[in-house]
Chains A and B, each alone.
Chain A
Amino acid sequence: MLDSLAIAIGMVHIAAAIALLNGVTTTFGQAKIAAQAIESIARQPEAADSIRTAMFIGLALAETSGIYGLLIAIIMLFANPLVGTLVKLIESTL
């Protein structure tokens, strides 16, 4: 009854979900950057413009790891080159 392609696709979806879990840490880092920036602006309102620029650059750099996770998930779901190999592997073990 077990369909090897269904098992392979299910495994791929679980792997994509795990790859997206790094959004948790990315969001935490971005929250920390924003909190610190707001704190600095509250302490020194005349430097708000330069602090805002630095905050946006910091947010963008921290976002990179989240974007990598998203791209890995998208590649695994839509353009996975290894599904054929995985199906063959599962068929040989079943």
Chain B
Amino acid sequence: MDLNIDNLLVIKIAGVEIWITETIFNTWLIMLLLVALAVVARIKLRRFKEVPTGFQNVIEAAVELFDNFAVDTLGEKLSYIAPWFFMVFSFILSSAWLSIFGMRAPTADWVTTFALALATFILMIFMGFKHRRGNYLQSLFEPHPIFFPLNLIGELAKPVSLSFRLFGNMLSGTIILTLYYALTPRFVQFGIPALLHGFFDILIGSLQTYIFVIVSLMYIKSAAE
């Protein structure tokens, strides 16, 4: 593990350099795992039984749990965007768990978290215009048109604070674990780091995933209602 984000490969396409960094590699690795899981679930879906057992039980429990969570937070009317946030949830959770294996979590790079937060921001604006039309635009000018710059800054700060929160938590875990591995002698590097990984990757990672998703859902709800 290293504090820097290593550059693995440079691809040149029509004079434009594309850097394949560690973040991109790990992101594609997670995408591969999740897509493989989704394909397996889709193939098994044909043989799903009335009374679930084993693998079917796990898949149904995960989807149902998230659906109930989305309906509780968003309400019945808006809960049709739950599949997107199920994807975001599983991606952030598995990227936090990736650093158990000594690889750098993609969410410890601001690029990844900002992309996710920007998607939330665009979805927020889209949902606002879809469900409230002109009223959404008008809500920027309330309570008086003189407050428009303040409201605009408040809206633009949402993706930044959302992405910085996840990025800061993941990066602090990465830094503490890197310092532990770099500064301690070899014979204490077995067993004891499991506690640190358990706290920083599993506990903080799961908590921050939950918070990222629930804060995104609340932004969307406040824009659409």
Instruction: Please report A residues at the B interface, Cβ cutoff 8 Å.
Output: 53, 56-57, 60-61, 63-64, 67-68, 70-71, 74, 78
Contact = CB atoms under 8 A, between A and B. Distances in A.
Contacts of B218: 57
B54 to A, nearest CB: 29
B164 A74 contact: no
Contacts of B3: 78
Interface residues of B, number: 17
| Chain B CB within 10 Å, residue with most, of A53, A60, A71 | A60
Interface in B99-125: none
Contacts of A63: 165
Contact of A60 (B165, B167, B171, B172): B165
Given A74-B171, A78-B3, A56 B207 contact: yes
B175 A67 contact: no
Contacts of B210: 56
What DSSP secondary structure best describes chain A's contact surface? helix
A67 B168 contact: yes
A57 B219 CA distance: 12
6 contacts: A56-B207, A56-B214, A64-B164, A67-B165, A71-B167, A78-B3
Contacts of A56: 207, 210-211, 214
